[in-house]
Amino acid sequence: MMKFWVVEQQQKRLSDEGADVKILILGEGATSRADKRDTEAMKDALTQLRASAKKAASIIGASEVIFGGLPDNRFDSVDLLNIIKIIEKS
């Protein structure tokens, strides 16, 4: 937990200093425990996770949260180029 707290403090400091802080969350965050990835079945949980991420971002002063929508804990099933494109686009 300490690792995340340090990152949050750095982002808050940067934001306080006038930097444009954006957050990129690559994974959708909810379907990894299911037998099959079904984002429609997890729609409420995903909506709640996104709302929580946006709230946390506003607390630390981030101007934007970008969601990649990749399969949670399954990045190895996604071509690396597709991940890179999301990062570069952000």
Structure tokens at 46: 């995903």
The pLDDT value given to residue 8: 73
Structure tokens at 87: 């990062």
Pairing of strands 64-70, 22-27: parallel
The pLDDT value given to residue 1: 42
pTM of the model: 0.75
The pLDDT value given to residue 12: 78
Which whole-number Å values give the CA distances from 24 to 15, 33, 62, in the listed order? 16, 22, 11
pLDDT string in tens for the chain (90-residue length): 444 555 677 877 888 888 888 889 998 888 877 778 888 888 898 999 999 999 988 988 889 999 998 988 888 999 999 999 999 998
At a CB cut-off of 8 Å and minimum separation 6, what does 30 contact? Answer: 42, 45, 46, 49, 72
Q: Which of 66, 70, 59 is nearest to 5 (CA)?
A: 59
The pLDDT value given to residue 2: 43
